[in-house]
Amino acid sequence: MTLTTIILLVLALYMVQIFLQETSRFGFDLRGIVGNRDNPPKPSILAGRLDRAKNNMLEALPIFLALALLALVKGGDTREVAHAATIFLIARVVYVPAYVSGVPMLRSLVWLVAVASLAAMALPLI
């Protein structure tokens, strides 16, 4: 998989997370989702977890994008960065259900894999 494809997939994952978080807030009720949202309901536990998982992705996304774009701009062989970026993508896909499940330590372990993959993306750029 190319680095460009991985970047697009990570961005698609972020869009899915936004969708899940917003729709879960309204209990997947279409009227609430498409309404004016003046009086949003109190978030459920699921909605709260999806919101926090989305916010965590929002924190990691600039670092991922900066490293991926640096690798593309730098040119040359991007296979090492693409491999680490693939691990980041997989970890972030696993992170959402890990967070939602509430299994102790699972979310943190998956998060550590994603953070380690960011470090692995940075090393070839030095």
- Phi-psi group of 42: left, alpha or beta (phi > 0 → left; psi -120 to 50 → alpha; rest → beta): beta
Interatomic CA distance for residues 85 and 23, integer angstroms: 28
Per-residue tens of pLDDT for the chain, all 126 residues = 999 999 999 999 999 999 999 888 877 777 777 777 677 778 899 999 999 999 999 999 999 999 999 999 998 889 999 999 999 999 999 999 999 999 989 999 999 999 999 999 999 999
User: Domain tally for the chain?
Assistant: 1
pLDDT of residue 31: 73
User: What is the domain-level CATH number for residue 99?
Assistant: 1.20.120.550
- Phi-psi group of 102: left, alpha or beta (phi > 0 → left; psi -120 to 50 → alpha; rest → beta): left
Could you count the other beta carbons within 10 Å of the beta carbon of residue 32?
Answer: 17
Domain that holds residue 88: 3-125
